[in-house]
C-alpha cells in the first residue's frame, strides 16, 4: 500500500511543530481528508487528553493512540497528524513506514517553547507531559529522547522560520519527491539505472548509477531536454581513459563537443584554473544554451560546477563522476567551489546540475588510493544517517573491496540516495544538510594545514570521523565501543584513523575558517549512536585540542610550544 499515489501523508514531530494545522492545509491542497490522532483519541475515550492522563494514565492513552493511528492508516487520500509521542512504539513506526510517506516537522526547543501554551495563560491546553515548573527543560529532555525516532521520516521540514503555508508547500514537495523515488522506480525498472532524484525548491533532476553507463550519456542528456554544444571539463587522466567514449556518446546524440583537460589533483582546484577555463569558453564562444559536462572526481565536479554557475550567469551542467567520492558526495547537491590558500572550498556557490550519470565500472580503473579514499564518504553516510547501510558495508566489505559489480553498484546507489534525500530537504545547508559534514571539520582542517597536498579528501575525512567520534566520547554522548566501531570500519577499507606530523595549532587555525563556523563557534556534527547525529556548538576548545593531540600524535611539549 505504501507505494500508491493515494497513500497517506503522515506527519510526525514534537508538539508545537504545527502538525495539526499543516495536516489541514496539505489536505486542502490535495482535496483529501485530514485526521488528527489526538482528536481521534478524544473521540474514542469520550474525554480530553489531560483527563485521560490524569484518570487513566499514559499507558492507556498510548493504547488509544495506537488504535487511532491504525484506523487512520487504513484509509487512502488522507493526511494524518500524529501525536508527538506516537513514534515511541515500534508497532506505530512500522505501521507508518508501511502505510505511506512519513514527513517530520522539526523545530528548535526554544521555538517549541514559545509556540506551546503554558500553565499561566491557557492551563486547560497544556500538554500533560509538559505540565511542570520548567517546561523548556522538559522539552529538551523529551525531544532528545525522541530524536532518533523522528529520523525515520522520509522527509523533514525545519519549521522555525517558515509560515504555515510554506511548511505545507515543503510537505507537498517532500511527498512529490517520495512518489518519484518510489513510483517512478517501479515503473521504469532497474534497466534504466535510476538511483534517485534530487528535488529542491527550484530544481529537480535525476541521478543514474549503474555498471557501464558512459555510452548512454548523450541520450540521457537529450532525454532531459538539453541541447547546444557540450563543453567537457575533465581530469586529464580520466579524459585519456574515458574521453573517447564520452565524446562519442555526446556526438552520437548530436551535441557539438569540445574538451578541456585539467591536471589531476586538489592542487588544480584554484581560481587560476577556473580563469583558464573561462578563457577557453570565451575563445570558443560558448552560449547560454550550451552545457558544461564535468567528467572526473570531486575536484572536477566542484570546479566545473563553479564555472557553469558563473559563466554567462549560468550554463546547464551535467556531472559525470568517475571516483567514489565524486559519485556519492561531490556530484550531488549543487555545492561548487575552489580552494583558497586560507581554507578549502572557500570560494564557490550552490548550483544544481541538470543530470548526474555515475558509471560504477569506472571505479575499476581508479588508482587504489583514490578508491580507498572514496569509501570514507560511504562509511560516513552509513554511520550518520543509515544504520542499515553501515551494516551492509561491514557484511559485504570483501565484495566491495573487490568491486563486485552488484555489491558496488548497490553501495553507490544507496549512498547517493542518502545524499539526494538530505540535499533535497536542505539545498543550501541551513538545516539537516550539515549532518553530511560529519568528520569534515577536522578533515578540512587537516587538508588546509597541509596545503591540500598530503591527504586525499577521503583520507582526511576518515581521520576527522574518528576525531569526531572521540569528541563525542569525551562529551559523554558516544560509548567507547562505537568509537572503536568507527576505527574498525575505516581500517577494514584501508583508511587512516590517525596521522602524525601535523601541528594541532595549524589544524585549529584552519578550522576557524571552516564554513560550519557560526557566531565564531564551530558547529560540530557528532553522534550519539549510529544513525543518531546531533549538532553541538558547545564543544570546549581545550577538549578539541586534547583530541587533536591524541589524533595527530602530538606530544604535550609540542602542544605547549604551539600555545
Residues identified as active-site: 313, 335, 377, 419, 429, 433, 437, 440, 444, 457
Contact 66, 92 (CB under 8 A): yes
Distance CA 4, CA 80 (A): 16
Q: Coil, strand or helix: which one is 159?
A: coil
∠ at Cα 352 (351, 358), nearest 5°? 130
β-sheet bridge partners, residue 194: 208
Measure Cα distances from 351 to 367, 434, 490 in Å: 29, 17, 31
Query: Nearest 5°: phi and psi at 248?
Result: -65, -40
Distance CA 354, CA 220 (A): 11
What is the SS3 string spanning 376-441?
Answer: HHHHHHHHHHCHHHHHHHHHCHHHHHCCCHHHHHHHHHHHHHHHHHHHHHCCCCCCHHHHHHCCHH
Pairwise CA distance, residues 503 & 553, whole Å: 9
User: Could you tell me if 352 and 205 are in contact, meaning their C-beta atoms sit under 8 angstroms apart?
Assistant: yes
Q: Whats the size of the chain, residue-wise?
A: 563
64: three-class secondary structure by DSSP: helix
Give CA–CA dist 203/235, Å, rounded: 27
Three cell numbers written together for 538 = 558547545
DSSP notation for 479-520: -HHHHHHHHHHHHHTT--S---S--HHHHHHHHTT-TTEETT
Amino acid at each position: 500500500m505504501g507505494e500508491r499515489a493515494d497513500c497517506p501523508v503522515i506527519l510526525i514531530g514534537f508538539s508545537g511543530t504545527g502538525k495539526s494545522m499543516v495536516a489541514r492545509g496539505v489536505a486542502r491542497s490535495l482535496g483529501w481528508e485530514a485526521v488528527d490522532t489526538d482528536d481521534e483519541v478524544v473521540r474514542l475515550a469520550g474525554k480530553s487528553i489531560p483527563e485521560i492522563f490524569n484518570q487513566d494514565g499514559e499507558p492507556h492513552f498510548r493504547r488509544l493512540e495506537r488504535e487511532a493511528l491504525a484506523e487512520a492508516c487504513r484509509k487512502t487520500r488522507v493526511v494524518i497528524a500524529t501525536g508527538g509521542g506516537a513514534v515511541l512504539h515500534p508497532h506505530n513506526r512500522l505501521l507508518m513506514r508501511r502505510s505511506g510517506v512519513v514527513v517530520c516537522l522539526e523545530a528548535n526547543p526554544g521555538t517549541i517553547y514559545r509556540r506551546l501554551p503554558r500553565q499561566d495563560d491557557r492551563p486547560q491546553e497544556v500538554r500533560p507531559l509538559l505540565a511542570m515548573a520548567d517546561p523548556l527543560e522538559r522539552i529538551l529532555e523529551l525531544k532528545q529522547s525522541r530524536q532518533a525516532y523522528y529520523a525515520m521520516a522520509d522527509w523533514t521540514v525545519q519549521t522555525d522560520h517558515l509560515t504555515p503555508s510554506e511548511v505545507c508547500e515543503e510537505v507537498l514537495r517532500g511527498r512529490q519527491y517520495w512518489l518519484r523515488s518510489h513510483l517512478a522506480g517501479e515503473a521504469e525498472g532497474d534497466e534504466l539505472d535510476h538511483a534517485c532524484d534530487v528535488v529542491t525548491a527550484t530544481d529537480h533532476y535525476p541521478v543514474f548509477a549503474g555498471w557501464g553507463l558512459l555510452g548512454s550519456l548523450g541520450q540521457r542528456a537529450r532525454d532531459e531536454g538539453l541541447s547546444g554544444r557540450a563543453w567537457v571539463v575533465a581530469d586529464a587522466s580520466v579524459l585519456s581513459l574515458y574521453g573517447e567514449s564520452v565524446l562519442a556518446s555526446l556526438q552520437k546524440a548530436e551535441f557539438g563537443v569540445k574538451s578541456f583537460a585539467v591536471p589531476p589533483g586538489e592542487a588544480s582546484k584554484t581560481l587560476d584554473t577556473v580563469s583558464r577555463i573561462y578563457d577557453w569558453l570565451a575563445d570558443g564562444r560558448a552560449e547560454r544554451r550550451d552545457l558544461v559536462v564535468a567528467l572526473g572526481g570531486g575536484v572536477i565536479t566542484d570546479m566545473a560546477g563553479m564555472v557553469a554557475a558563473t559563466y554567462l550567469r549560468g550554463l546547464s551542467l551535467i556531472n559525470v563522476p568517475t571516483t567514489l567520492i565524486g559519485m556519492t558526495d561531490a556530484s550531488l547537491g549543487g555545492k561548487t567551489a575552489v580552494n583558497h590558500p586560507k581554507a578549502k572550498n572557500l570560494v564557490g556557490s550552490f548550483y544544481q546540475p541538470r543530470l548526474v550519470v555515475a558509471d560504477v565500472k569506472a571505479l575499476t580503473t581508479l588508482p587504489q588510493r583514490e578508491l580507498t579514499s572514496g569509501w570514507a564518504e560511504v562509511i560516513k553516510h552509513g554511520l550518520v544517517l543509515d544504520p542499515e547501510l553501515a551494516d551492509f558495508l561491514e557484511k559485504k566489505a570483501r565484495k566491495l573491496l573487490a568491486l563486485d559489480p552488484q555489491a558496488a553498484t548497490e553501495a553507490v546507489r544507496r549512498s547517493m540516495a542518502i545524499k539526494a534525500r538530505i540535499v533535497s530537504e536542505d539545498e543550501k545547508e541551513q538545516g539537516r544538510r550539515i549532518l553530511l559534514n560529519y568528520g569534515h571539520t577536522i578533515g578540512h582542517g587537516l587538508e588546509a594545514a597541509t596545503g591540500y597536498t598530503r591527504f586525499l579528501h577521503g583520507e582526511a575525512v576518515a581521520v576527522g570521523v574518528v576525531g569526531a567520534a572521540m569528541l563525542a566520547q569525551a562529551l559523554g554522548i558516544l560509548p567507547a565501543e562505537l568509537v572503536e566501531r568507527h576505527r574498525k570500519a575505516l581500517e577494514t577499507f584501508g583508511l587512516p584513523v590517525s596521522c602524525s606530523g601535523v601541528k594541532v595549532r595549524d589544524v585549529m587555525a584552519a578550522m576557524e575558517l571552516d564554513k560550519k563556523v557560526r557566531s565564531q563557534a564551530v558547529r560540530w556534527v557528532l553522534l550519539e549512536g549510529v544513525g543518531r547525529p546531533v549538532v553541538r556548538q558547545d564543544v570546549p576548545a581545550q577538549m578539541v585540542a586534547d583530541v587533536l593531540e591524541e589524533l595527530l600524535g602530538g606530544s604535550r611539549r609540542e602542544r605547549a610550544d604551539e600555545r
